[in-house]
Amino acid sequence: MKKNGLLRAARISMLAGAVVTASLFAANAANAAIPNKTLVYCSEGSPSGFDPAQYTTGVDFTANTFTVYNRLVEFERGGTKVEPGLAEKWDVSADGLTYTFHLRHGVKFQTTSFFKPTREFNADDVLFTFNRMLDPNQPFRKAYPVAFPYFTDMGLDKLITKIEKVDPYTVKFTLKEVNAPFIQNLAMEYASILSAEYGDKLLKDNKAADINQFPVGTGPFIFRSYTKDATIRFDGNPDYWKPNDVKLSKLIFSITPDAAVRVQKLKNNECQVMSYPRPGDIATLKASPNIDTPSQAGFNEGYVAYNVTKKNLDNVDVRRALDMAINKKAIIESVYQGAGQAAVAPMPPTQWSYDKSLKGNPYDTAKAKELLTKAGFPNGFELTLWAMPVQRPYNPNARLMAEMIQADWAKIGVKATIVSYEWGEYLKRAHAGEHDAMLIGWTGDNGDPDNWLGTLLGCDAVKGSNFSKFCYKPFEEQVSKGRVTNDIAQRTKAYTQAQQIFAQQLPFSPIAHSTVYQPASKKVIDIKIEPLGYLRFDGVGMQ
């Protein structure tokens, strides 16, 4: 490609050459505004792709959503407050069913080696982004048919009845019913705005699937290359609409699955930021003179999901017996090494509407055996227990946790076979419902209770993040009540009742909420711990 480009360049006229030189000078001048600094991030895993609408994990979102893309509305750095993004402002109709977004002018899509935009961001891009998820007959959707788990898990495919372009910089969403978390939901990763022009080009070239490999957005960093299981390279975006937020000319992800290796790389300055230290490494990191190790209570939860569609696990007494047989205190001491607290509800205590009155089942092997006998399994039974192959903020060592639970369940006659797969395969098979019981967890996405109760336990999410496959009408009714009013007191009442039903039915066993640490070199300026579980490099600089 480079040779051909040079040959063509050699044939153009002197005048054209002058234009090219002037263009390069202008580009270099723009780039000069970005500090000539490189930051290397030791990440824990390879992204499944670069199309945020398809994925649900922090690995993917750190690698695509907050580097390449923006959304209509965005979460503030380090928090869950929503602020304007590609929409400068928005209006909500008196009946709560119509949201009108007034779009930002002058926002440029990124110029890359594989796409050069001819126009700025406008309403067409918003329509393309959302209609691709909403309309199964949309041309791009037909050319590249994929699942949109967040969009469907939250029922947005049923909620949004119409998206209209009022004018080139105004878009109107019409909803079927009032939806209190709607604005919070639009700040989430799946809602990252794509280029309709780029989509048209990919369709024309018969390369629709490239949208997942070669991303184009309006965000602070431009995708340059990805070497699977090795590195992702980004350049600072000289045309970013928030120029003061781009403080790195180069951002490199060094994919390093082994936590011990990440620690060594950070200590040796081979990377300046690392993900997910093991609890056992915290003391070493804190003792290092060149490393900061800030921490905060995690907005997360690790749990054991029971596939309630499977024989045995469809019985609430069996689920309660399995829960009571788990020595959670021992798990918190050994797996979290003190950097966690016991979980009893389907959400963390820092989430508003959390039911403080809930009490977890006691660790009681004798009672667990009684419940199994009552359920018709006096001699126990066999099942699979899936263990994640990766370290997550809500579970620093899934293999160890699985082994401890396996030993606990053996005491009541339940024989668990531990199963694991590569992370992408693990999630794919779990979405399909192949598991019996599985270790999984969640870090809140938007600060709203619906993101826990609806996304993890709602009927719309049984093929998505509801790994318990739990669809229970009394529970669903309460979650729906909480969703269709903006009255906080009414919402809290509904969500409290939903948590009480959860405690009775126990579709998963809450284990722990972990403390989150974010080790970084002291050379790094203004990195924040994100409560929603990803890392952001907009606004981050280097000394």
- Please state the domain extents for the chain: 31-68+219-291+518-543, 70-200, 297-516
Fold classification of 70-200 (topology level): Dipeptide-binding Protein; domain 1 (3.90.76)
pLDDT higher than 50, residue 258: yes
Please give the average per-residue pLDDT across 377-387, as a whole number.
97
pLDDT at 206: 97
Q: What is the dihedral of CA 291, 296, 299, 302, to 10 degrees?
A: 70
Confirm whether 31-68+219-291+518-543 and 297-516 share one CATH topology. Answer: no
Q: What is the DSSP string of 221-235?
A: EEEEEEETTTEEEEE
Specify whether the CB–CB gap between 265 and 274 falls below 8 A: yes
Q: What is the CA radius of gyration of the chain?
A: 25
Name the E strands within 2-81: 38-43, 73-75
Q: Determine how β-strand 508-517 pairs with β-strand 340-342.
A: antiparallel
Closest C-alpha to 439, from 391, 380, 480, 487: 391
SS3 per-residue string spanning 418-449: EECCCHHHHHHHHHCCCCCEEEEEEECCCCCC
Please give the average per-residue pLDDT across 402-421, as a whole number.
98
Cβ contacts of 29 within 8 Å, gap of 6 or more: none
Most distant CA pair in the chain: distance in Å? 90
Share of the chain above pLDDT 70, in %: 94
pLDDT at 58: 83
Cβ neighbourhood burial of 308 (10 Å; 0-12, 13-18, 19+): buried
Q: Determine how β-strand 382-386 pairs with β-strand 437-443.
A: parallel
Give the chain's mean pLDDT.
92
Closest C-alpha to 249, from 287, 277, 221, 289: 221
CB-based contacts of 369-376 (< 8 A; 24+ apart in sequence)? 369/321, 369/412, 369/413, 371/317, 371/318, 371/320, 371/321, 371/324, 372/317, 372/318, 372/321, 372/412, 372/413, 372/414, 374/317, 375/312, 375/315, 375/317, 375/318, 375/321
Q: For the chain, what is the total number of helices (H) and then of strands (E)?
A: 20, 22
Q: What type of residue is 507?
A: P
Q: What is the CB-side half-sphere exposure of residue 101 using CA atoms within 13 A?
A: 27
pLDDT at 424: 85
Query: Lowest mean pLDDT: which of 50-59, 114-123, 304-313, 410-419?
Result: 50-59
Closest C-alpha to 45, from 297, 228, 238: 228
pLDDT at 400: 97
pLDDT higher than 60, residue 1: no
pLDDT higher than 70, residue 16: no
State residue 367 phi and psi, 5-degree precision.
-65, -40
Please indicate whether residue 13 or residue 312 has the higher confidence score (pLDDT).
Answer: 312
pLDDT at 57: 84
Q: What is the dihedral of CA 142, 143, 144, 149, to 10 degrees?
A: -10
- Give the C-alpha separation, 302 to 402, whole Å: 12
pTM (2 d.p.): 0.80
How many residues appear in the chain? 543
Confidence of residue 37 (pLDDT cuts 50, 70, 90): very high
pLDDT tens sequence across 310-335? 999 999 999 999 999 999 999 999 99
Share of the chain above pLDDT 90, in %: 86
Kindly report the number of other CB atoms within 10 A of residue 227's CB atom: 10
pLDDT tens sequence across 342-376? 999 999 998 999 999 999 999 999 999 999 999 99
CATH homologous superfamily of domain 31-68+219-291+518-543?
A: Periplasmic binding protein-like II (3.40.190.10)
Please indicate whether residue 38 or residue 486 has the higher confidence score (pLDDT).
Answer: 38
Confidence of residue 59 (pLDDT cuts 50, 70, 90): confident
pLDDT higher than 80, residue 406: yes
pLDDT higher than 90, residue 21: no
Residue at token pair 């400068």: 88
- Give the C-alpha separation, 385 to 388, whole Å: 10
Closest C-alpha to 534, from 149, 253, 341, 181: 253
pLDDT at 393: 84
pLDDT higher than 60, residue 203: yes
pLDDT at 319: 98
Please give the average per-residue pLDDT across 520-530, as a whole number.
97
pLDDT higher than 60, residue 4: no
pLDDT at 10: 33
- Give the C-alpha separation, 475 to 498, whole Å: 5
Q: What type of residue is 400?
A: L
Please give the average per-residue pLDDT across 57-79, as a whole number.
93
pLDDT at 428: 92
pLDDT tens sequence across 164-198? 999 999 999 999 999 999 999 999 999 999 999 99
Fold classification of 297-516 (topology level): Dipeptide-binding Protein; domain 3 (3.10.105)
pLDDT at 333: 94
Confidence of residue 27 (pLDDT cuts 50, 70, 90): very low
Question: Bridge partners of 171?
Answer: 101, 165
pLDDT at 28: 37
pLDDT at 24: 32
Specify whether the CB–CB gap between 157 and 151 falls below 8 A: yes
- Give the C-alpha separation, 55 to 69, whole Å: 14
pLDDT higher than 60, residue 82: yes
Confidence of residue 391 (pLDDT cuts 50, 70, 90): confident
